[in-house]
Structure 1
């Protein structure tokens, strides 16, 4: 219970600030409507009205919670009004892109550590690739792939992979280089081959770094999948929900999609954390 108290305190503070912001941002519309009608409203009436507006500038937390409940529990998962349905569409692209980005990142990291030429050539390009804004490159990727007949899930997965591979490269390179000079000298004393040094020292030492980078990478991969849905005018996915909400001024729908994406990211990061604890515990690296 004591460990939950700080978390609950932070959540309560966020909710309180959120409600205050909703009252502040939505009150102007209420006051304008009252002025047109020649009415004078008390502070209590203004606050009450800001909590129930259909298209508020900033929805109140209970409005977002109600929208989440309606679009997850009260709708069948196959309904196109279900947030679970849209979340699954985005999750599919996220997982595919994350798998591609992770595989590419691990391969590049191994090459960078074991080959000086790759270290001098590939690593600067990997860093430079992240300076290009994803909002600029996403439409280019989609247009190029569409021109060669690649549509559907893969273009979004490519954008996800673009965002997720870099944290894996950086984390894996740091992990593979983490053994100190004494450990490397000990392996040489045992006359270990280069492959034995990699499999028995470098790779196990890199696992904590790898799992940490995977947590960052999977969140970035989700962002990439959502961004990949925006320029295509997608009709399914969390990005499509954001687009539809912005087109029709449905701010509650926008916020529910954002909160849904945050929950999805938290679940994926939590799953990686569970695998991390299980793996490291079996290797004797975590207690």
Structure 2
């Protein structure tokens, strides 16, 4: 019996590509509709001040989607801005979006590395010490109740007072946001081995170090990478927030600030899109490393 043939569209929607495309198209359509709705009042006022009457709807929509300083820029305007500030600008140019993204990326990665190491160390201490579990874990959780916008200026001021400036203050803000998911994820992972397996290790007279490296840590690796995906995205948010109170002249946060100062909404949205793409790439890279490590450990095919 010959196998049934499926159409290309059926194969497309059988995987992840088709549904993702549908969502992207829907978002773009809603975006265009929102741009027309939000920008139309200003455009109508422009017609009124210019004594222009009986404007066709098509002309109104076209003018609304091509304003210099729209309330909500259209997707094609943001795409044009990204093209101009990436492909048509040298990477070393202060107007290059790649240049600013690189500045933000450096503090993001540094904060992510510090936060990951700190989270793992705290998790190991919490799991192996009842005193730390009772005293430290509540503080770890309560630390995230403080709004980052409130604490970021204090961190910047205090570190500048002791002579620490530049990359490290922004990295510390990223660390503040990224260590929490790693800590919680690792605590969950290190406590995930079954009691039967722990009892078996004790039966073999295994030391605490052997129990950790041969049982607890392998169980915790999937939890670690899952939490790292959250942490790297949070680290990027921290890096951008860290650039806002410093009046930075470089970085995606600086692009957001300058865009808000001069009413350049297209610039603001291009920086936001660049940040979202960077976050997606970083999360995907962590996922790739996750798959490689689990495969080497024999935990994935």
TM-score range, shorter chain: over 0.9
Q: Give 1:84's aligned residue.
A: 98
Residue 195 of structure 1, CA deviation: 1.2
Aligned counterpart, 2:33: 20
Q: CA deviation at 1:191?
A: 2.1
Q: Cα RMSD between the aligned structures?
A: 0.8
TM value normalised by structure 2: 0.94
Deviation, 1:189, is: 2.3
**Residue 29 of structure 2 corresponds to residue 29 of structure 1:** no
1:40 aligns with 2:65: no
Range that drifts further, 31-40 or 159-168 = 31-40
- Runs of 4+ deviating beyond 6 Å: none
Within the alignment, does 1:187 sit opposite 2:206 as a pair? no
Q: CA deviation at 1:34?
A: 1.1
Give the CA deviation at 1:187.
Answer: 1.5
**Distance across 2 between alignment mates of 1:8 and 1:130:** 35
Contact 1:75 1:81 in 2 (8 A): yes
Provide the secondary structure at the position in 2 that maps to 1:85: helix
- Specify which of 99, 103, 106 is matched with residue 120 of structure 2: 106
Indicate the residue corresponding to 1:75 in structure 2: 89
Per-residue CA deviations over 1:54-79 (Å, capped at 9, x if unaligned) read: 10000000100111111111101000
Count how many residue pairs are aligned between Structure 1 and Structure 2.
287
Q: Tell me if 1:159 matches 2:173.
A: yes
Partners of 2:170 and 2:54 in 1: CA distance: 52
User: Separation in 1 of the partners of 2:81 and 2:259?
Assistant: 12
Question: Is residue 8 of structure 1 aligned with residue 21 of structure 2?
Answer: yes
Aligned 8 A contact 1:34 1:40 in 2 = no
Q: 2:187 aligns with which of 158, 170, 173?
A: 173
**Quick check: 1:138 aligned with 2:152?**
yes
Unaligned stretches of 5+ in structure 1? none
Q: Is the 8 A contact 1:22 1:59 kept in 2?
A: yes
Task: Report the secondary structure of 2:263's partner residue.
Answer: coil
Mapped partners of 2:237, 2:300: distance in 1 = 30
Distance 1:223 1:48 in 2: 35
* Residue number in structure 2 paired with 1:225: 239
1:206-250, CA deviations, whole angstroms, 9 ceiling, x for partnerless residues? 000000000000000000000000001100000000000000000
* Contact 1:172/1:206 (<8 A) preserved: yes
In 1, Cα distance between equivalents of 2:54 and 2:119: 62
1:40 shift after superposition: 2.5
Structure 2: distance between partners of 1:41 and 1:171: 59
SS in 2 for 1:187: helix
Distance 1:276 1:28 in 2: 50
Structure 1 position 37, deviation (Å): 2.2
Matched position secondary structure for 2:237? helix
The match for 2:4 is none
Corresponding residue for residue 67 of structure 2: 53
**Does 2:258 align with 1:244?**
yes
What are the Cα deviations for residues 99-128 of structure 1, in whole angstroms up to 9, with x where unaligned?
A: 111111000000000011010111001111
Compute the TM-score of the two structures, normalised by the length of structure 1. Answer: 0.99
User: What corresponds to 2:7 in structure 1?
Assistant: none
Following the alignment from structure 1 to structure 2, what is the Cα–Cα distance between the partners of residues 57 and 96?
35
Which structure 2 segments of 5+ residues have no match? 1-11
